[in-house]
Amino acid sequence: MKSLEVKRLLVGPVLALASLALVLPFASQAATSPNTTPGPPRVSTGGTTRVSGTSATLQGSINPRTLTTTYYFQYGPTATYGQQTPAATLTAGTTLVKVSQPVTGLLPGYHYRLVASNSEGQRSGHDRTFSLESSKKTAFELPKTYKATPRGGTFLLSGTLTGTGGANRQIVLQATPYPYTTAYTDVGIPIVTTATGHFTFVVAHLDTGTKFRIATVGTKPIYSLVVPAQVSVRVALKVRTSTISKGLVRLYGTVTPAEVGAHVYFELEKAPKSEEGPPTSEKPARLENPAKSKGRSEHEEEKGPTFLTKFSTVVKPGTRSLARFSAIVSIRISGHYRAFVDVLPGPLASGHSSTVLLHAAPSDSKKRKKKKG
């Protein structure tokens, strides 16, 4: 029994020492990782993308090893290459970074590799051979976002058909209008992509929200992703200034088609913080408080200027084809204003007018100074 107890007492320390022996080598390796100490860059040659005709984008990856690194691709008919892309710079770091550069004149069977160098030396990735089989499959590349098209306007759909079959390829535009329950049908006649796979479809007089897609012409068509084209109401804004009171103006206009009851927001283009005037607190008679309408007090367009709501009203009946709006307001902040019409979700999207420049009336303090002067 005593010998058994002695063995039990020895098991714990032995296991602890064994586990410590396993941990220490890994900790030592982490402390001396080659990627965290300066040295020649680590380079790997990748594949190809955006292949169209003799054009392609060469890819690869680089670990700069904490130093600023320059890189370029070499390519040519043999492993001696003969051509190279312009040198590019990669900032210092310790992680693997993907890089790419476009080339022209790349033919099947051509060799290429990635070359990188820093103050510690130069390294090259493995030699690779370009082949049509290894290139990217034919596919459509389209913009991610589109601006709304005013009703009756022209919608442009541009993109690129990439891959080995992207150049000089027949393609056709297909569409299904709101509420998108009908099958896609061809719009117009097929067109042919350029030598680089580029194309542009022009759709004139777009009157309702429509979903588009593009297809290659042939027995096994290739389809693009669906592009939802928004069609906005057309808004016209006019201004009539008062000859009696400076700063008092009548903002009026039309909405096509007639969206009776929709909210109209008169918005001021927001200036930089250093130039932005004090917030307004006016609430003219017969105008609604914008904060009470869907909680909307500020509207910002995608990748555009910011607009602040200063006044609001509603759209009233006009004719069969259009509706009207009107409001008399006191301008207290000079700037560019526009009318934004907010409509319910449906075949048409919300829209806005072009901006107009409005001047504020002089304050009472400024009037007194002028009189004293």
Residues 160/196, Cβ–Cβ less than 8 Å:
yes
DSSP H or E run through 10: helix 2-31
pLDDT values of the chain reduced to their tens digit, one per residue, 373 residues? 445 444 444 445 444 444 444 444 444 444 456 667 889 999 999 988 877 777 889 999 999 999 999 999 999 999 899 999 999 999 988 888 999 999 998 888 899 999 999 999 999 999 998 876 555 578 899 988 888 999 999 999 999 998 777 889 999 999 999 999 999 999 999 999 998 889 999 999 999 999 999 999 988 899 999 999 999 999 999 999 876 666 689 999 999 999 999 999 999 998 655 444 444 434 333 333 333 334 343 333 445 679 999 999 999 999 988 999 999 999 889 999 999 999 998 999 999 999 999 988 776 445 545 555 5
Six-digit token pair at 153? 């306007």
**pTM, rounded to two decimals:** 0.55
Report the CATH fold assignment for 37-129.
Answer: Immunoglobulin-like (2.60.40)
Q: Is 118 helix (H, G, I), strand (E, B) or coil?
A: strand
Six-digit token pair at 296? 């909307």
Place of tokens 């150049």: 167
CATH code of the domain occupying 234-364? 2.60.40
Where in the chain do CATH 2.60.40.10 domains reside? Answer: 37-129, 139-231
Partner residues linked to 252 by β-bridges: 238, 326
123-158 burial, b if ≥16 CB within 10 A, otherwise e? bebeebebeeeebbebbbbbeeebebbbbeeebebe
Domain boundaries 139-231, CATH class? mainly beta
